[in-house]
Structure 1
Amino acid sequence: MMQKLVVLFILLSGSSTKSEGLTGKGFTFPSESNTAYATLTPDVEGPYSALTLCLRSFPENGRIYTLFSLATPSKDNDFLLYHPEKGKYSVYVNNNVHNFLGMPDNQNEWNSVCWTWDGKTGLTQVWVNGKRSIRAKIYTGSIAAATPSIILGQEQDSYGGRFDANQCFVGDLSDVHMWNYVLDPCAIQDYMKAYTFIPGNVLNWEALNYNVNGEVLVEPTGCY
């Protein structure tokens, strides 16, 4: 009986579901793995015809890493923000990709990143540390018609799984917000400068529903 209780405790302690505000805190991914990640539950379900994603990252230098992964049963890269090399951000919408080059990329500092996509025009754009990319056409339409799997820390090669440690995030992620519309440039700059802004209505870091799996810690972030 005692052995069964120990096994049950181990299984339960590997994953903890919470709903809370994480203001002033972040997820710490301390080491490379294919088992550490956080799943987020959106407050507004799809389909989405426009999205804005904003987050802050303090990544380990010199790595390929994934900042945000949203998959559906039919599209593993329905909405993916990927960092394949210094200064380069790859965005995926409905499995279509566009690469933004020459973006700011602070080393050993926080980076504030926002990404917009408008399904009416197909235009997408990335902002990093207050600097914007061009607008580029990527996909016209809507995404996430089925229940999305939203994951921080890993890149989904299938719905909710098939993680590769070489693509995982190592470092700190914080202040994740998502809106089902395109934020205007002034609102994005307010986020970048940590001014007052309207929290995300799809994902709200101040009232987040999340589930932690593997070695993911919730730690204070300090000042940005």
Structure 2
Amino acid sequence: GGFGDDMLFGGDGDDSVDMGQGNDRADGGAGTDLLSFGDTYIALAVNTQSGVAVGTYNDSVWNYDSSLETWVETFTTSTDNMSFSNFEIYDLSQADDTFDGNAADETIYGKAGNDTLNGGGGGDTIDGGDGDDVIYGDRSTSLHLGAMNPEGSAKTDYVYNPSFIDMPASKITVELLMKADPLVTSSKVIMSYATAGSYNEFTLFNDDSPSGSQLRLWINNASYDTGVPSSLIYDGDLHRLSFSWDGTTGEIAIYVDGTEEFRQTYAAMAGTSIAGDGFLVFGQDQDSLGGGYDPGQSFTGAMGDIRIFNGIRTAAEIALNAADVLSGDLTAVPGLVANWNYDPASGTYINALGVDLLTSSASGLSDVLAYDPGTAGDDTLSGGAGNDQIFGEDGNDVVQGGAGADAMDGGDGIDTLDYSGSTSGVTVNLESGTGIRGDATGDTFTGFENVTGSSFDDTLIGDAADNALAGTGGDDILRGLAGADDLGGGAGSDTASYVGSDDGVAIDLAAGSASGGHATGDRLGSIENLEGSTFADLLSGDVGANVLEGKGGADVL
């Protein structure tokens, strides 16, 4: 496209279209088409549901400085507003990109930068490239937010619980999704918790003071600056805001979209606690218990998926669930005491745990659809270099974290952790959810059933479910644990290990049979060696060169 406002039409065939700079319009037409955004942007947001992309870039301006008797270059920020349709492949920028996909099968390349890439529905292929990326395969559950206090209104909207008996006393983590009006920031209260003796018992608000707009916390009627700039969340985009307070140590931590922005310990707060059974409000400040609301302090925007935990969530837990909707048996989620989601049918917030409802001060808040991706798909997700966060969500996904300490969640479906690209051997343990060596170094993961190893010497350990462990190349050790597992050694001299079995095992490599203990239901392929249990095992080889180790027990080899 070059400079200027261009109209680009691909027509039939498999086309490559480069938007360039300017307010361009592009139509890929028929075929499998590639849309590229070049490398000039310092920030890029692409939404294939709406067919809109917004790119921000630095514009260079030269002015003559007579005092210096020279030309001086300055930069201003400019924005391109682009539209597009009928593309299947997207090549993003080298900057920090945001991508929201639709229900089609899409291929997305994040390249460099700390990208947030959401494939939406469909079977997507996503490669984050370099940088610390956050990647979602599917967001298959529609999520709604309740809109409060739009400009021009009386600004009296808020949601409340007049007697929140489950308010944590000494350790609390709050996580919520919000979409704030970027033009209304001054002293806007996000959460207010008050008791009879303390109207600012636990309050989070945006303080638009002369020293700079930032998030601030009131705890036990004392105010604490965080230094977190309001611009991180007051930009009109959807964000997950998470904050925690540990009254035993006095430590405060704040996260935006799963990334830690602030952490500090205040010694004066150590050993303090929050009073229970108070009045909880979102969207307004209480200058008296359950009242004294000031429209000038109201929150303008939308909120939803509000979670409160009795305890301090770790950075890894917050990062993994930053854009997730919690699902399954929520009573099993450690520390979760409330999870309110906006219900557009009733116009109220419903607690997924069934207690402690949030009531709206208005007859019904306006509905804001946070995301609705369509159907789930089988995705291929690659993090590349950097410390990435990857969420498979629904579908049977293949996830490759690449280098870096990655946090990965397979979600629903039969999902595979893929380390085939590692340049050295890996140790991967599905039971503990951790990895070491090679590309697995520092990795944490959950929701995976299968593992593909590298071309080197790997140790792959399953869990109690049915797992498929593929060693590919190298001399691998495969330990499926319980469940009916597929153990494929691939090339090299590979070992099926039953160390830790709860009973003796009987395995015949020549017959391809396995029974007893953790071997029950297992299928073995390209396995040369066997390790038994601490019980009485029967281990039989084949016509190849086998190493049979009985370990403990009265074994027959």
TM-score by length of 2: 0.34
CA distance in 1 between counterparts of 2:234 and 2:299 reads 16
Structure of greater relative contact order (alpha carbons < 8 Å, 6+ residues apart)? 1
Secondary structure of 1:205 counterpart = strand
Q: What is the match of residue 172 of structure 1? A: 302
Counterpart check, 1:40 vs 2:170: no
CA contact (8 A) 1:37 1:213 kept: yes
Counterparts of residues 131-170 of structure 1 (less than 5 Å): 131-132=259-260, 133-137=262-266, 139-140=269-270, 141-145=272-276, 147-170=277-300
Q: What is the match of residue 105 of structure 1? A: 233
Letter in 1 for 2:194: A
CA distance in 1 between counterparts of 2:315 and 2:263 reads 13
Secondary structure of 2:316 counterpart = helix
Q: What is the match of residue 449 of structure 2? A: none
* Cα deviation code 1:151-201 (max 9, x no counterpart): 111111111010111110111011110011100111111222327574863
The alpha-carbon deviation at position 128 of structure 1 amounts to 1.3
* Two-structure CA RMSD over aligned residues (Å): 2.7
CA contact (8 A) 1:48 1:143 kept: yes
* Cα deviation code 1:124-168 (max 9, x no counterpart): 1111123321223262311123x2100111111111010111110
Residues 200 and 127 of structure 1, relative CA distance in 2, 3 Å threshold: same
Secondary structure of 2:237 counterpart = coil
Q: What is the match of residue 190 of structure 2? A: 67
Alignment identity in percent?
22
CA contact (8 A) 2:189 2:299 kept: yes
Larger radius of gyration: 2
Q: What is the match of residue 144 of structure 2? A: 25
CA distance in 2 between counterparts of 1:211 and 1:199 reads 25
CA distance in 1 between counterparts of 2:360 and 2:326 reads 28
The alpha-carbon deviation at position 101 of structure 1 amounts to 1.5
Q: What is the match of residue 206 of structure 2? A: 83
Q: What is the match of residue 120 of structure 1? A: 248
The alpha-carbon deviation at position 204 of structure 1 amounts to 1.3
CA distance in 2 between counterparts of 1:46 and 1:59 reads 25
Q: What is the match of residue 188 of structure 1? A: 318
CA contact (8 A) 1:149 1:160 kept: yes
Residues 189 and 195 of structure 1, relative CA distance in 2, 3 Å threshold: farther
Give structure 1 stretches of 5+ with no counterpart.
1-22
* Cα deviation code 1:28-73 (max 9, x no counterpart): 1142545321113677535611100011111111322111111001
The alpha-carbon deviation at position 78 of structure 1 amounts to 0.6
Letter in 2 for 1:57: M
Residues 196 and 87 of structure 1, relative CA distance in 2, 3 Å threshold: farther
CA contact (8 A) 1:25 1:218 kept: no
Q: Which moved more, 1:130-139 or 1:68-77?
A: 130-139
Secondary structure of 1:222 counterpart = strand
CA contact (8 A) 1:37 1:216 kept: no
CA distance in 1 between counterparts of 2:366 and 2:335 reads 20
Counterpart check, 1:213 vs 2:341: no
Q: What is the match of residue 176 of structure 2? A: 55
CA distance in 2 between counterparts of 1:56 and 1:200 reads 19
CA distance in 2 between counterparts of 1:165 and 1:131 reads 31
Letter in 2 for 1:205: W
CA distance in 2 between counterparts of 1:199 and 1:154 reads 29
Q: Which moved more, 1:83-92 or 1:113-122?
A: 83-92
Letter in 2 for 1:115: F
Letter in 2 for 1:75: S
CA contact (8 A) 1:69 1:77 kept: yes
CA distance in 2 between counterparts of 1:46 and 1:187 reads 20
Secondary structure of 2:156 counterpart = coil
Residues 33 and 191 of structure 1, relative CA distance in 2, 3 Å threshold: farther
Aligned residues: 202
CA distance in 1 between counterparts of 2:197 and 2:163 reads 19
Q: Which moved more, 1:195-204 or 1:101-110?
A: 195-204
TM-score by length of 1: 0.79
Residues 46 and 109 of structure 1, relative CA distance in 2, 3 Å threshold: closer
Q: What is the match of residue 202 of structure 1? A: 337
CA contact (8 A) 1:28 1:216 kept: no
Letter in 2 for 1:72: T
Residues 46 and 113 of structure 1, relative CA distance in 2, 3 Å threshold: closer
CA contact (8 A) 2:180 2:233 kept: no
CA contact (8 A) 2:253 2:264 kept: yes
CA distance in 2 between counterparts of 1:203 and 1:42 reads 13
